[in-house]
């Protein structure tokens, strides 16, 4: 009882990414920035960051090479934004075998119809044209995600909005487990990015979402030249043809990016004619402000963020063996914690036969006469 109270009061953070490609600005504003802030606040007991390769394999079964190649990319992106393995544990999901065992046990507590109702799964099945042929592993990945979270007794899970149904499903599994067996698991809470613009960063082509498959992203590892080319070629208001035309700042990704990235200091540094984004927007909407001026400003703002990231990435790219060592150490640490939870889970489910002296004694008695 006492120990449980103690556990609940701890702040344990866990989050993760599927290693299906390098990370982009959408990941940066949507989660990475916040993770670094959390990390440096020191206001937590433990923080785990997981590279979800096993989950990535649930819809890339035929292409393990893609996942294999991207683990190091994601790790480099983590380090380059300032995540610090001295403060947070970075590990690889598939290397923590307790997670698959937990998934198997939790799957007894979840119905097929409940999984079918999970909005994220539903949506992803459609996106991948899996309707007729859903791989079982993919269909059940919310259960595996519950294992990821509960194995570390995480109570805080910083995620994007699309992940809320996963956290809800995890909470249900926790309640069901604790009710059915013994109260050993912790119900997690999701935390979302603060700003509206950070929730869903559009692509440079104006598409609602920055995504690998659409090829409309700006990557943390993009060179200065690539970033310039992408920003200068960005979609804006198609009706804003002449400088004097009134322009639309809504559904205009250039302004959405400024919303997400530019602060007043950026205006002081790079565009002192305007005090803030409201002034810039007002001018654009009235007419008389050209796209080039706005794009150049955006480029300066983005480069100001990406330049130090690029520098750090460069440093780690020359030390790949150390990065792998860091991942190995992190995975070792994660194994210790997850195995401890797995033991508690097995005890609660009474599948700890060899440690259960009473059980053995009882069976000795049963057959003594
Ligand atoms: N599903 C998450 C994504 O696609 C990745 C993930 C796997 C995750 N396990 C997790 C996120 C546990 C938070 C907690 O982005």
pLDDT of residue 53: 98
Whole-number Å distance, alpha carbon 123 to ligand 1 midpoint, is 16
- Confirm if 341 and 155 have CB atoms less than 8 A apart: no
- Confirm if 156 and 11 have CB atoms less than 8 A apart: yes
**What's the pLDDT band for 198 if we cut at 50, 70, 90?**
low
Could you read off the pLDDT of 206-221 as tens digits, one per residue?
988 888 778 899 999 9
Could you read off the pLDDT of 264-306 as tens digits, one per residue?
999 999 999 999 999 999 999 999 999 999 999 999 999 999 9
On the CB side of 243, CA atoms within 13 Å amount to: 6
Question: Which atom of ligand 1 lies at the shortest distance from residue 160's CA?
Answer: 15
**Could you tell which of 19, 21, 50 is best to mutate to test the pocket of ligand 1, judged by most ligand atoms within 8 Å of the CB?**
50
**Could you tell which of 13, 14, 16 is best to mutate to test the pocket of ligand 1, judged by most ligand atoms within 8 Å of the CB?**
16
Distance, in Å, from the CA atom of 100 to the CA atom of 92, rounded to the nearest integer, reads 13
pLDDT of residue 10: 86
**What's the pLDDT band for 180 if we cut at 50, 70, 90?**
very high
pLDDT of residue 46: 96
Residues in the ligand 1 pocket, defined by CB under 6 Å: 14-18, 50, 52, 55, 145, 148-149, 157, 159, 163
**Percentage of the chain lying above the pLDDT 90 cut:** 85
Sequence-distant (6+) residues with CB within 8 A of 63 are: none
Q: Backbone dihedral region of 181: left (phi > 0), alpha (psi from -120 to 50 degrees) or beta?
A: alpha
- Confirm if 246 and 233 have CB atoms less than 8 A apart: no
CA dist 51 to 122, 323, 326, Å? 23, 13, 13
Tell me which residue of 46, 58, 31, 26 sits closest to 90, measured CA to CA: 46
Could you read off the pLDDT of 122-177 as tens digits, one per residue?
998 888 888 888 999 999 999 999 999 999 999 999 988 889 999 999 999 999 99
Distance, in Å, from the CA atom of 74 to the CA atom of 88, rounded to the nearest integer, reads 15
**What's the pLDDT band for 1 if we cut at 50, 70, 90?**
very low
Distance, in Å, from the CA atom of 307 to the CA atom of 77, rounded to the nearest integer, reads 13
**What's the pLDDT band for 232 if we cut at 50, 70, 90?**
very high
306's tokens:
């990406």
**What's the pLDDT band for 334 if we cut at 50, 70, 90?**
very high
């Amino acid at each position: 009882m006492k120990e449980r109270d103690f556990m609940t009061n701890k702040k344990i953070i866990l989050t993760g990414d599927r290693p299906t490609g390098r990370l982009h600005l959408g990941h940066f504003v949507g989660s990475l920035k916040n993770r670094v802030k959390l990390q440096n606040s020191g206001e937590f007991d433990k923080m785990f960051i997981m590279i979800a390769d096993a989950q990535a394999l649930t819809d890339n079964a035929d292409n393990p090479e893609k996942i294999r190649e991207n683990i190091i990319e994601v790790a480099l992106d983590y380090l380059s934004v300032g995540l610090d393995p001295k403060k947070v544990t970075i590990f690889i999901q598939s290397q923590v075998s307790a997670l698959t065992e937990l998934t198997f046990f939790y799957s007894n507590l979840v119905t097929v119809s409940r999984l079918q109702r999970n909005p994220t799964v539903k949506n992803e099945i459609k996106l991948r044209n899996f309707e007729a042929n859903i791989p079982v592993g993919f269909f059940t990945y919310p259960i595996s995600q519950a294992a990821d979270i509960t194995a570390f007794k995480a109570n805080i899970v910083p995620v994007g909005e699309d992940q809320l149904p996963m956290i809800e499903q995890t909470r249900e599994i926790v309640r069901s487990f604790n009710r059915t067996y013994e109260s050993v698991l912790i119900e997690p809470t999701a935390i979302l990015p603060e700003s509206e613009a950070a929730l869903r960063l559009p692509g440079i082509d104006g598409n609602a979402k920055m995504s690998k498959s659409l090829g409309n992203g700006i990557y943390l590892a993009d060179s200065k030249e690539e970033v310039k080319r992408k920003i200068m070629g960005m979609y804006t208001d198609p009706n804003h043809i002449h400088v004097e035309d009134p322009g639309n700042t809504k559904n205009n990704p250039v302004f959405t990016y400024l919303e997400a990235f530019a602060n007043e200091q950026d205006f002081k540094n790079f565009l002192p004619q305007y005090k803030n984004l409201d002034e810039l927007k007002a001018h654009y909407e009235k007419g008389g402000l050209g796209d080039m001026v706005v794009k150049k400003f955006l480029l300066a703002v983005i480069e100001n963020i990406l330049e130090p990231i690029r520098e750090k990435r460069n440093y780690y790219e020359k030390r790949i063996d150390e990065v792998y060592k860091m991942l190995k150490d992190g995975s070792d640490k994660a194994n210790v914690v997850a195995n401890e939870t797995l033991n508690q889970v097995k005890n609660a489910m009474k599948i700890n036969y060899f440690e259960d002296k009473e059980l053995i004694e009882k069976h000795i008695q049963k057959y003594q006469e």
